[in-house]
Amino acid sequence: MKTILITGATAGIGEAAARRFAAGGWRVIGTGRRAQRLKETNVTGLVALTRALLPRIVERRGAIINLGSVAGTYPYKGGAVYGGTKAFVHQFSLDLRCDLHGTGVRVTSIEPGMIETEFTLVRTGGDKDASDKLYAGMNPMTSDDLAETIWWIATLPPHLNINTIELMPVNQSFAGFAVHREG
């Protein structure tokens, strides 16, 4: 039986992924955190958990699938800290893949755009109206969409690695640079 550790399994993408893997017959080990710990566990938690689990992952020739964000590549107003942590996830994943060369361990960074989850309430300081306005009139990705992507990557033949995958709903794009005009 295959085993997967899913961090953030208490809500959103993590919860959907846990359900998907359990339905696929995997043993799921889930952990979670709440919003008040978000800023603490975004970088150091990833590094500490990876370091703790890495010997076992190498032994089993497993896979590491990290969840980044397009915010690590494309800036948005008010997203400096969040975007910085997601840029770290991207680079950490690439460097980890390099460090694990020859071990058979696969490392992937999944970098999604707009997904309607409760995380938007965290990002907006609990402002439900702001969260609702963000998704009004568009068709965002869902946690289940991401769970299927994670499932696909995890169940690829062991000789294939997806380094990075960037996903956005059709109604979202990176709009390019903004220019402020005086006068």
Are 147 and 16 spatial neighbours (Cβ–Cβ below 8 Å)?
Answer: yes
Distance (Å, rounded) from C-alpha 118 to C-alpha 134?
Answer: 12
61 — alpha (psi -120 to 50), left (phi > 0) or beta? left
Are 153 and 21 spatial neighbours (Cβ–Cβ below 8 Å)?
Answer: no
Exactly one of 74, 76, 82, 135 is catalytic; which is it? Answer: 82
Count CB atoms within 10 A of the CB of residue 157: 5
Q: How far is CA 44 from CA 41, 158, 161, in A?
A: 6, 28, 25
Residue 164, burial from CB neighbour count under 10 angstroms (0-12, 13-18, 19+): middle
Q: Which residues are registered as beta bridge partners of 165?
A: 110
76 is catalytic: no
Count CB atoms within 10 A of the CB of residue 69: 23
Instruction: State the catalytic residues.
Output: 82
